[in-house]
Amino acid sequence: MPGIVGGLEPGKKRKRKDEVSGNSKKSRTALKAREPDPQEEVLGLEQKILESRTNYNSIHTLLDHIRVGGSAEEKDILAAVALCRVFCRLMAAGNLNKPQDKASNEATIVQWLRERLQDYENRLLRLLKDEDAGRQSTALTLLMRLIKEEATHLNKSEEAIWRHGLFEKLLRTLVEDGVAEDTRVEFVEKYVGEYDEVRYYTFARLADMSSKDPSEPVVQNTLSILSAVETIPEQQDELENFYIGPPSKAKHELYSLTAHKKQAQKAWMALLRHTLTKAQRKSILDLMSHRIAPWFLKPELLLDFLTDSSNIGGSTSLMALSGLFYLMQHKNLDYPQFYQKLYSLLDAQILHSKHRSRFFRLLETFLASTHLPAALVASFIKRLSRLTLYAPPSGIVVVVPWIYNLLKNHPSCTFMIHRNSELDKEEDEGGPERHGDPFRIWESDPMETDAIESSLWEIHMLQTHYHPSVATIAKIISEQFTKQAYNLEDFLDHSYGTMLDAELEKDIKRAPEIEYEIPKKIFMKHEVGSGKEDGLVVKLWSFN
């Protein structure tokens, strides 16, 4: 074509690469500027919906923005929050209340809105299982807000609100797999622990769910929710904080402390009937005295669980006895085999156990009463004295102060200190002699061990123990009992490491005397011509 050379018209120059690049950057910037802001888009859709019924189809658009799973986007949560405001305002305005004429166009619109509300609720329930903890927390807050608004504006019955409605679906989702533990804790702290009717219906629904579904996730998550409930009302007047509002009836069950405790008792009993793992059983036993037993109107219902747990052995038995002791002390429960069970835990492993500190704390509580029989107290003293002969030093330094305190509280047992260890005693005049220690260590009943007739010769032997700390503390039994009592906490946390550190940190006032010359070399040979003989270690082993 005339006038065009190489694709360019006469008089026009080829654009440089940097000019083209600059133009493309400007176009991208302009394109980015034209992209709608997610927050403005969502707020615009929300405003349209609230302005006119003709824009109700925008509810569908917002629902589509709430995507469960995949990468979290800002628009998802913005749409979820916006829809919550939309439905709350529609409910407050009465737009979701069913009209009397079910065949009218109004009824069709209301039915459509209710279906979209149900779709929204289902998406929030699925959002509760999202991988992102923040999205789970937001979904929980929005669901609880919907429960409150539905109860306030949709004229639903109590049964429909709490037992078969959204609250029941929320609770069922929380006990299933996929929900983070922090979300369950948040639910308890923000709602169950704060509002009386939420706590009441949580107990009621968990009792039904746990009894119908014995699967492992449901049992574990139900335990997680129940064990997080710390608030236990003690008086009727405390039942005054309600999430939705106070019941209209003056004699409603929500005002009854007995009704609240009955629901809690049902929930815990439904859980205890399941086959529990060792960790779950220990978790329950750990909460027994301060979060479980106070709820029970009939504490004797816990006896089977505690008795079965006490037969397991080890730390589980100890924790079960702690629960039994609480019931005996505070609920006037009778359990005659308590001290026999406790005595059976005093075996050769107890002073080597990692639970030793906890055991002695509880043992001190169990034997604190001055009304216990002297024969029973003497059996515990004697049994632990015998076990010190095989115990590590860190265990012995706990036993001796504990025995001191018991002897101080039970003066009738102090005869065991000064009685001769070798008893040559005639039962009758001219009768047979009985030699040795009368203590029957294999007797399972602490009232039948004859420990009160024995002596504490084991503690006397400890006064020559190889460890200086043990030897020193064992001597307190042979001295005058001028000290009122020892604080057991000062001795419970000792170990080989702490006792060694204590010895190394002591100030040496005078260097110890020795009877031989300290060698210059132990593992190496002396120089030839030094005139010193190599040690036995060097002769037997080569360290080259």
Q: Which residue has the tokens 């026999």?
A: 340
Residue 161 lies in a domain: no
- Residue in 340, 394, 398 with CA at minimum distance from that of residue 366: 340
95 within 8 A of 110, measured Cβ to Cβ: yes
Which residues, in sequence order, are CB contacts of 192 under 8 Å at separation 6+? 198, 199, 202, 225, 228, 229
Q: Which residue has the tokens 């929980």?
A: 140
Which residues, in sequence order, are CB contacts of 52 under 8 Å at separation 6+? none
Please compute Rg for the chain using Cα positions. Answer: 39
Start-end of H helices in 250-351: 257-272, 278-287, 303-310, 314-330, 338-344
Total domains in the fold of the chain: 3
Structure tokens at 454: 């024995």
Residue 89 lies in a domain: yes
**Statement to judge: residues 486 and 544 lie in one domain:** no
Structure tokens at 335: 């359990």
Helix or strand run (H / E) with residue 433: strand 433-434
Start-end of H helices in 35-156: 38-51, 58-65, 74-92, 105-127, 133-153
Residue 411 lies in a domain: yes
**Statement to judge: residues 455 and 376 lie in one domain:** yes
Q: Which residue has the tokens 């008089």?
A: 11
**Statement to judge: residues 86 and 30 lie in one domain:** yes
Decide: helix, strand or coil at residue 8.
Answer: strand
What values do phi and psi take at 287, rounded to 5? -95, -5
Structure tokens at 360: 């002695």
Amino acid at 121: E
Structure tokens at 434: 């009985």
**Statement to judge: residues 417 and 526 lie in one domain:** no
Q: How many angstroms separate the CA atoms of 241 and 191, rounded?
A: 11
5: DSSP letter: B
Residue 284 confidence (pLDDT): 95
Residue 134 lies in a domain: no
**Statement to judge: residues 524 and 500 lie in one domain:** no
What values do phi and psi take at 117, rounded to 5? -60, -40
User: Rounded to an integer, what is the distance from CA 218 to the centroid of its chain?
Assistant: 17
Residue 443 confidence (pLDDT): 92
List Cα–Cα distances, 192 to 96, 126, 201, 405, 428, in angstroms. Answer: 28, 21, 9, 44, 71
List Cα–Cα distances, 117 to 68, 147, 244, 307, in angstroms. Answer: 17, 12, 20, 50
Q: How many angstroms separate the CA atoms of 282 and 86, rounded?
A: 47
Q: Which residue has the tokens 């929204």?
A: 120
Residue 414 lies in a domain: yes
Amino acid at 269: M
Which residues span the domain enclosing 40? 1-127
Residue 177 lies in a domain: no
List Cα–Cα distances, 112 to 53, 60, 107, 109, in angstroms. Answer: 12, 11, 9, 5
**Statement to judge: residues 537 and 412 lie in one domain:** no
Could you say which of 74, 97, 127 is where a domain stops? 127
Structure tokens at 406: 């018991």
Residue 77 lies in a domain: yes
Amino acid at 234: E
Residue 34 confidence (pLDDT): 52
Which residues, in sequence order, are CB contacts of 264 under 8 Å at separation 6+? 203, 229, 295, 296
Residue 534 lies in a domain: yes
Treating both helix axes as pointing N-terminal to C-terminal, what angle do 303-310 and 278-287 enclose, rounded to 10 degrees? 120
What values do phi and psi take at 495, rounded to 5? -145, 180
**Statement to judge: residues 393 and 472 lie in one domain:** yes
Amino acid at 191: Y
Residue 431 confidence (pLDDT): 42
User: Rounded to an integer, what is the distance from CA 217 to the centroid of its chain?
Assistant: 17
**Statement to judge: residues 13 and 99 lie in one domain:** yes
**Statement to judge: residues 60 and 115 lie in one domain:** yes
Could you say which of 97, 127, 157 is where a domain stops? 127
**Statement to judge: residues 376 and 486 lie in one domain:** yes
Reading the chain (544 residues) residue by residue, the pLDDT tens digits are 444 334 434 444 454 545 445 555 555 554 444 556 778 888 888 898 888 888 888 998 899 888 876 555 678 889 999 999 999 999 998 888 888 776 678 889 999 999 999 999 999 999 998 888 888 999 999 999 999 999 888 877 777 788 888 999 999 999 998 899 999 999 999 999 999 999 999 999 999 998 888 889 999 999 999 999 998 888 888 898 999 888 888 888 999 999 999 999 999 999 999 999 999 999 999 999 989 999 999 999 999 999 999 988 888 998 999 999 999 988 888 888 999 999 999 988 888 888 888 899 999 999 999 999 999 999 999 999 999 999 999 999 999 999 999 999 999 998 888 776 444 444 444 444 445 789 999 999 999 999 999 999 999 999 999 888 899 999 999 888 888 889 988 888 888 788 888 878 888 787 777 666 666 777 778 777 777 777 777 777 776 5
Q: Which residues pair with 5 in a beta bridge?
A: 8
Q: How many angstroms separate the CA atoms of 157 and 110, rounded?
A: 19
473 within 8 A of 400, measured Cβ to Cβ: yes
**Statement to judge: residues 411 and 531 lie in one domain:** no
Could you say which of 127, 144, 170 is where a domain stops? 127
Which residues, in sequence order, are CB contacts of 135 under 8 Å at separation 6+? 72, 76, 77, 127
Start-end of H helices in 331-430: 338-344, 356-366, 374-387, 393-409, 415-418
Residue 71 confidence (pLDDT): 59
**Statement to judge: residues 375 and 505 lie in one domain:** yes
First to last CA, the chain: 97
Structure tokens at 105: 């166009």
